[in-house]
Amino acid sequence: MSFDLIVKGGRLPDGSRADIGISGQTIRAIEASIEAEAGRVIDAAGNLVTPPFVDPHFHMDATLSYGIPRINASGTLLEGIALWGELKPLLTHEAVKERALAYCDWAVSMGLLAIRTHVDTCDNRLLAVEALLEVKREVAHYIDMQLVAFPQDGFYRDPKARENTIRALDKGVDVVGGIPHFERTMEDGRRSVTELCEIAADRGLMVDMHCDETDDPLSRHIEQLAYEAQRLGLQGRVAGSHLTSMHSMDNYYVSKLLPLMAEAQVSAIPNPLINIVLQGRHDTYPKRRGLTRVPEMLTAGIRVGFGQDCVLDPWYSLGTADMLDVAFMGLHVAQMTSPADMRRCFDMVTAESAAIMGLADYGLEVGRKASLVVLDAGDPVEAIRLRAERLCVVAGGQVVAEREKRATRLNIDGRPSTVERRLRPEGRCP
């Protein structure tokens, strides 16, 4: 037997060492040792080999627009939405596409090969929808992209949002979104959840709503979302993004809410980088963190995937497409510091988010799509600690990104000539 590509000697996320044999776009063998001909062999000895990073929540229509036409002075969600409203009339099809494709290059270099991006449907031109549908087609051979129809200005609050959101779905946008906490009243928010879930059920689509992205403990649209998921038979196909109000909710209410979410199989997508900067802006001190209750949701059996949300846009002035940054921040803010919890944070930017997106072909298993990342780390927790370099990225059997391992030279008498920040680098391992 021969392979197009063999990745040799890598350490898999479960700690085992294995060679991975790839032919065409598919993983054909995972064995302790593969001795066979190959078109190319990648030496991954001592390095972590994982399935690709997955971002279940992003805004690719806004990315890399930082500073256009100005920056967000207050740093709040609401000024971000207002600023996006100023930017929207200035968008061109070409500029949206160019920025999105540039971002996809960053993503590939970071081993981020699956992205669920919301796209604003509150625009009569549907300019960003058209542009991102083209981007999705153009990157399909290296990035799994899902588009969410997102009525940014409110499904009822913007008089044309309903019509334009449906037009976007007709054009092939994959998932139904919403923003109930931005509607004019709690009742409008509740109704928007119901109607949007009905649209998804009618069309056989998944749902992913920006839900309760506030510090208001009475913002409880997640309850309606879970109720509708059960009522309409959408179990396992609905996600609530952000859910930051849960941080501030009454504990008794949450003790009733979490089992409802678990029963309805509603997933949660917290976005730790963006919410640690956006939430708590109306507080003095103590200042709330605003991240939703991640460990409690995991204990309740709710699937959780961390999203990145924003990179260099009206809401967030940093970001590099590095899902390890997201896991790092999530780990800290959720205080998930036990070895098992830190490991879980890695799963929340890989396998758990792939499950939320419904990526059936994802994972390091024979017969699955041959997409993987070789990281300069010994295990998943070390990858988070180091925000480890991606030494090699394989997408559908093709090597799409590579870099040399870079060691810092040290010029100090009596000390080693290079610095190694891995705890047990290959060769020094006892």
Shortest separation between residue 204's beta carbon and Zn ion, angstroms: 24
User: In what helix (H) or strand (E) does residue 224 lie, and over which residues does it extend?
Assistant: helix 221-231
Q: Which residue is at the shortest CB distance from Zn ion?
A: 309
> Which lies closer to Zn ion via its Cβ, residue 311 or residue 388?
311
- What is the spatial distance between Cα 390 and Cα 109, in angstroms, rounded to a whole number? 7
| All residues at 6 or more sequence positions from 106 whose CB lies less than 8 Å from its CB, including other chains | 311, 320, 321
| All residues at 6 or more sequence positions from 120 whose CB lies less than 8 Å from its CB, including other chains | 61, 62, 84, 88, 128, 150, 151, 152
Residue 94 structure tokens? 């070409």
> Which lies closer to Zn ion via its Cβ, residue 309 or residue 313?
309
Contacting positions for Zn ion (CB under 5 A):
309
Counting DSSP H helices and E strands in the chain, the numbers are: 13, 17
CA angle 131, 134, 140 (to 5 degrees): 135
Shortest separation between residue 209's beta carbon and Zn ion, angstroms: 10
Shortest separation between residue 138's beta carbon and Zn ion, angstroms: 23
Shortest separation between residue 309's beta carbon and Zn ion, angstroms: 5
112 contacts 54 by C-beta, under 8 angstroms: yes
Shortest separation between residue 117's beta carbon and Zn ion, angstroms: 9
Question: Does 213 participate in catalysis according to the annotation?
Answer: yes
- Give the sign of the dihedral formed by CA 270, CA 276, CA 165, CA 157: positive
Task: Return the CA Rg of the chain.
Answer: 22
Annotated active-site residue in 183, 213, 352, 382: 213
> Which lies closer to Zn ion via its Cβ, residue 62 or residue 331?
62
Query: Cα-Cα-Cα-Cα dihedral of 352, 13, 401, 33, to 10°?
Result: -140
> Which lies closer to Zn ion via its Cβ, residue 10 or residue 307?
307
> Which lies closer to Zn ion via its Cβ, residue 74 or residue 418?
74
> Which lies closer to Zn ion via its Cβ, residue 34 or residue 304?
304
CA angle 380, 381, 386 (to 5 degrees): 100
Shortest separation between residue 287's beta carbon and Zn ion, angstroms: 22
User: In what helix (H) or strand (E) does residue 5 lie, and over which residues does it extend?
Assistant: strand 2-11
Catalytic residue positions, numbered: 213
